[in-house]
């Protein structure tokens, strides 16, 4: 248990420091690397919760897919101008409002404790017993209980794919 | 002492240490094998100077790389330049942690083993991209861009090929995939009435592209880009990239063996009377025979020191062959032997590709990836799903 706690703090530090460096570094590539560090930390937290499937998918999708494309675009675009520009914009009112809302939410959850979270039925019971069937459990719940949201998300992705092809092609 | 040996972490830690020690040596000797095999294809001799028939060449190369001056370009991004090769190497080594070397030899048997391997290969790309970008050189940047585009394209085809294999096995755990093939009695590549040969072919093509090897070695095409993403790297950092490349070659071959060629199973795992000739006879004849054949080369050498090294090599091979005849040892190492033997065969095939096919043009590479490999991979998934349902009904 001690090793779990130590690992938790290491991963949490990765997530938070990565997130902070992402918005404070001037160089876009440095920001992207910090974001990768943060995402890897989240993957580690998934692994600590015995969610191996989410761990692997987090790395494959975010680090291996999305961040590689980010870096690809960053390298193609000349960002010298952006690096010299003012880093922080002036929309203080919106920023303070957003921080206040998120802070209030977190304070509320801390105040209420565990009772504030709705834990799905079988969610806690299944984890311990089915350590071997993590992937199967995700598939089962995705394709039975959460089929409608899953399909809506897939339609959304399809729309995005078709839209990007339409925008990229000059003549269809 | 007993408390240490019976600790649950003892075997994983021991195997991890053995792997970290073995991988650089294996990578070095893979490069020697590659040079020798390519030389043979081209009717040359290859490296012959250091040791008998160039046997000690990798050690000389490693020492040379380690004591070379470590040059960092003055306008480079120093921190990223410094750690980018480490990213590639660490990712490649991490992938070894889930490979099933034998029934009991694996660092960890995770239930998403295959996903861990593919996630680590995608993290390894970052090392290449960052290294190419941070060098602040046009050749490096072009190499990195090509590498990113190529890997993103071929990862899709690779995933479809893996998906077919996973469907046939019914699990993502690497040991589970091998055990499923033991239960079915056939290797994965012959499952589903032999149709699995299609995803296997797609996998081999996509994996060759994923490891940036010829004929898909656009990121380091020496005739166009000097050395691609590692143009500015020298000394130890170059050695790390080199290590990562050969470790990746081993990993993709090991995944193909696990998924399609039965992992640590011997050929015909269902036929019991073949156990003795295949598990005892084959390794003993192969290793002992190559030891004996090595002895015939000794007389042609002039230098007595080189003769001694070659005799030592021959005796080591013969002893290794004899070890397989001891029943108690054989039970433990036969699986390891078959796994490594199949992996070596696949690595030989990859070197063969490099010696045979000319490098593709960049648009041809993208056409193969998007217009051939991905549709074929998708179709293979659908047909394999149907065939799997028919064969199990």
Compare A80 and B360 and report the one with higher pLDDT. Answer: B360
Residue in chain A closest to B149 (alpha carbons) equals: A72
Q: Residues near B238 by Cβ (< 8 Å), separated by ≥ 6? A: B65, B85, B230
- Are the beta carbons of B216 and B150 closer than 8 angstroms? yes
- Asked if the C-beta of B366 comes within 8 angstroms of chain A's C-beta atoms, the answer is no
Angle between helices B78-95 and B235-260 (to 10 degrees): 30
Question: How high is the mean pLDDT of chain A?
Answer: 81
Q: Are A31 and A23 in contact (CB under 8 A)?
A: yes
Q: Domain total for chain B?
A: 1
Length of chain B: 393
| pLDDT above 70: residue A130 | no
> What are the φ/ψ torsions at residue A87 (nearest 5 degrees)?
-75, -40
What value does the CA radius of gyration of chain A take, rounded to a whole number of Å?
20
Taking an 8 Å cut-off on Cβ atoms, the answer to whether B141 and A27 are in contact is no
Check if the beta carbon of residue B124 is closer than 8 Å to that of residue B87: yes
Q: What's the pLDDT at A152?
A: 93
Of A29, A56, A133, the CB nearest to B119: A56
Distance CA B323, CA B329 (A): 7
Provide the b/e sequence for B96-117 (b: ≥16 CB within 10 Å): bbbbbbbbebbbeebbbbbbbb
Is A2 a domain residue?
yes
Q: Which of A70-84, A145-159, B273-287 has the lowest mean pLDDT?
A: A70-84
Q: Which of A36, A52, A132 has the CB atom closest to B126's CB atom? A: A36
Domain that holds residue B126: 71-265+326-392
Distance in angstroms (rounded) separating the CA atoms of residues A115 and B188: 49
Q: Which domain holds residue A47?
A: 1-76
- Residue to mutate among B7, B81, B123, with most A CBs inside 10 A, is B123
Q: Cα(B275)–Cα(B184) distance, rounded to whole angstroms?
A: 17
pLDDT, residue B111, reads 81
Confidence of residue A135 (pLDDT cuts 50, 70, 90): confident
In a domain, B306, yes or no: no
Chain A positions touching B110 (Cβ under 8 A) are 52
What whole-number distance in Å separates Cα of residue B383 and Cα of residue B393?
15
Under 8 Å between Cβ of B357 and B217: no
Q: Is residue B135 part of a domain?
A: yes
The answer to whether the CB atoms of A72 and B149 lie below 8 A apart is yes
Helix boundaries (H) for chain B: 2-5, 10-41, 57-67, 78-95, 113-134, 138-169, 174-184, 197-210, 222-225, 235-260, 275-276, 282-298, 304-323, 327-356, 362-367, 374-392
Tens-binned pLDDT, residue by residue, of chain B (393 aa): 677 777 777 888 888 888 888 888 888 888 899 888 989 888 888 888 887 888 888 888 888 888 888 787 887 778 888 888 888 899 888 888 888 888 877 787 888 888 888 888 888 888 888 888 888 788 888 888 888 888 888 888 888 998 888 888 888 888 888 888 888 777 877 777 778 888 899 999 998 888 888 788 776 766 777 777 777 787 788 888 888 888 888 999 999 998 888 888 888 877 778 777 777 878 888 888 888 888 888 777 777 888 888 888 888 888 888 888 887 777 778 888 888 899 999 999 988 988 888 888 888 888 888 888 899 999 989 998 888 888 776
Closest CA to B207 of B216, B195, B218, B198: B216
Q: How far is B119 from chain A (nearest CA, A)?
A: 5
Q: Which among B115, B125, B133 has CB closest to A68?
A: B125
Mutate to test the interface with A, among B122, B128, B175 (most CBs of A within 10 A): B122
Confidence band, pLDDT 50/70/90 cuts, at residue A120? low
Partner-chain residue, chosen from B80, B115, B121, that has the shortest CB–CB distance to A57: B115
CA distance B363 to chain A (A): 17
Q: What is the DSSP letter of A109?
A: H
Task: Work out the minimum CA distance from B288 to partner chain A, whole angstroms.
Answer: 42
Helix B327-356 to helix B235-260 angle, to the nearest 10 degrees?
110
In chain A, alpha helices (H): 2-24, 28-48, 52-58, 67-76, 80-84, 92-112, 123-129, 134-143, 147-168
CA distance B65 to B72: 15
| Arithmetic mean of pLDDT, A110-121 | 71
Asked if the ipTM is above 0.85, the reply is no
In a domain, B295, yes or no: no
Of the candidates B265, B139, B256, the residue with the CA atom closest to the CA atom of residue B208: B256
Checking if the pLDDT of A17 tops 90, the result is: yes
Measured CA to CA, the distance from residue B132 to residue B22 in angstroms comes to 28
Q: How far is the C-alpha of A44 from the C-alpha of A34, rounded, in Å?
A: 15
Q: What percent of chain A has pLDDT over 90?
A: 23
Instruction: Please determine, for residue A31, whether its predicted confidence score (pLDDT) is greater than 80.
Output: yes
CA A146 to chain centre: 20
Write the CA distances from B42 to A74, B47, B58, B208, B360, integer angstroms: 42, 13, 21, 21, 20
Query: Is A134 within 8 Å of B111 (Cβ atoms)?
Result: yes
The predicted pLDDT at position A128 comes to: 47
Does a structural domain hold residue B29? no
B383 in contact with A, Cβ within 8 Å: no
Cβ distance B317 to B290 under 8 Å?
A: yes
Cis status, amide bond into B215, omega within 30 of 0: yes
Which tokens sit at B229?
A: 């993403």
Return the biggest CA–CA distance within chain B.
67
Pairwise CB contact (< 8 Å): A64 & B172 = no
The verdict on residue A159 lying in a domain is no
- Cβ(A29)–Cβ(B77) under 8 Å? yes
pLDDT band of residue A78 (cuts 50, 70, 90) is low
B76: in domain = yes
> Are the beta carbons of A72 and B110 separated by less than 8 Å?
no
The structure tokens listed for A114 are 């565990």
Could you say which of B111, B121, B152 has the minimum Cβ distance to residue A69?
Answer: B152
User: In degrees rounded to 5, what are phi and psi of residue B233?
Assistant: -90, 145
Task: Examine residue B47 and state whether it is found in any structural domain, yes or no.
Answer: no
Q: How far apart are CA B208 and CA B154, in angstroms?
A: 9
Has residue A93 been placed in a domain? no
Q: Is residue A46 part of a domain?
A: yes
Q: Which of A7-16, A117-126, B135-144 has the lowest mean pLDDT?
A: A117-126
State the virtual CA torsion across A165, A60, B220, B162 in degrees, nearest 10.
-90
Q: Which two tokens stand for residue A168?
A: 């990229």
Give the DSSP letter string of B261-300.
S-TTPPSSTT-GGGHHIIIIIHHHHHHHHHHHHHHHHHTT
Is residue B38 less than 8 Å (CB to CB) from chain A?
no
CB pairs under 8 A between A and B: 78
Torsion of Cα atoms, B321 then B327 then B333 then B337, to 10°? 50
Q: Which two tokens stand for residue B381?
A: 């998934």
CATH number at residue A63: 1.20.120.1200
Query: Per the CB < 8 Å rule, is A72 touching B152?
Result: yes
Instruction: Determine the pLDDT at residue A125.
Output: 47
């Amino acid at each position: 248990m001690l090793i779990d706690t130590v690992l938790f703090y290491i991963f949490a530090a990765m997530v938070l420091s990565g997130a902070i460096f992402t918005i404070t570094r001037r160089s876009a590539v440095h920001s992207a690397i910090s974001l990768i560090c943060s995402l890897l930390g989240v993957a580690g937290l998934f692994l600590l919760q015995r969610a191996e499937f989410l761990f692997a998918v987090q790395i494959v999708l975010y680090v291996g897919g999305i961040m590689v494309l980010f870096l690809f675009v960053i390298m193609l675009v000349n960002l010298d101008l952006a690096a010299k520009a003012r880093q922080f914009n002036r929309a203080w009112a919106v920023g303070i409002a957003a921080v206040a809302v998120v802070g209030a939410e977190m304070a509320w959850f801390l105040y209420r404790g565990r009772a504030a979270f709705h834990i799905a039925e079988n969610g806690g019971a299944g984890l311990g017993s089915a350590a071997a069937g993590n992937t199967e459990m995700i598939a089962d719940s995705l394709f039975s209980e959460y089929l409608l949201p899953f399909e809506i998300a897939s339609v959304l992705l399809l729309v995005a794919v078709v839209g990007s092809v339409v925008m990229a092609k000059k003549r269809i | 002492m007993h408390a240490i040996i019976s600790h649950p972490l003892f075997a994983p830690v021991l195997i991890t240490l053995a792997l970290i020690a073995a991988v650089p040596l294996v990578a070095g000797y893979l490069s020697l094998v590659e040079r020798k095999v390519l030389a043979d294809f081209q009717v040359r001799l290859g490296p012959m100077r250091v040791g008998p028939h160039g046997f000690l060449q990798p050690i000389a190369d490693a020492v040379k790389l380690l004591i070379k001056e470590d040059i960092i370009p003055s306008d480079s991004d120093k921190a990223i330049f410094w750690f980018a090769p480490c990213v590639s190497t660490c990712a490649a080594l991490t992938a070894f942690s889930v490979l099933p070397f034998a029934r009991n030899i694996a660092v960890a048997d995770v239930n998403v083993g295959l996903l861990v391997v593919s996630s680590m290969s995608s993290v390894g790309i970052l090392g290449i991209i960052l290294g190419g970008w941070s060098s602040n050189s046009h050749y490096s940047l072009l190499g990195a861009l090509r590498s990113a585009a190529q890997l993103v394209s071929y990862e899709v085809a690779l995933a479809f090929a893996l998906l077919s294999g996973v469907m046939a096995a019914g699990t993502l755990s690497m040991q589970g995939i091998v055990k499923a093939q033991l239960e079915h009695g056939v290797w994965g590549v012959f499952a589903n009435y032999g149709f699995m040969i299609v995803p296997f072919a797609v996998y081999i093509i996509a994996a060759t592209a994923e490891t940036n090897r010829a004929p898909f070695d656009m990121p380091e095409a020496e005739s166009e880009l000097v050395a691609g993403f590692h143009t500015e790297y020298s000394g130890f950092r170059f050695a790390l990239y080199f290590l990562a490349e050969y470790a990746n070659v081993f990993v993709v071959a090991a995944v193909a063996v696990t998924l399609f060629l039965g992992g640590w199973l011997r050929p015909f795992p269902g036929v019991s009377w073949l156990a003795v000739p295949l598990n005892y006879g084959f390794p003993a004849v192969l290793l002992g025979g190559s030891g004996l054949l090595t002895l015939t080369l000794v007389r042609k050498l002039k230098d007595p020191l080189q003769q001694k090294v070659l005799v030592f090599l021959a005796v080591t091979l013969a002893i290794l062959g004899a070890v397989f005849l001891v029943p108690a040892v054989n039970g433990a190492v036969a699986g390891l032997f078959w796994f490594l033997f199949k992996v070596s065969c696949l690595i030989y095939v990859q070197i063969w590709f490099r010696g045979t096919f000319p490098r593709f043009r960049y648009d041809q590479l993208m056409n193969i990836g998007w217009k051939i490999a991905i549709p074929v991979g998708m179709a293979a998934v659908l047909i394999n799903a149907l065939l799997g349902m028919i064969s199990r009904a």
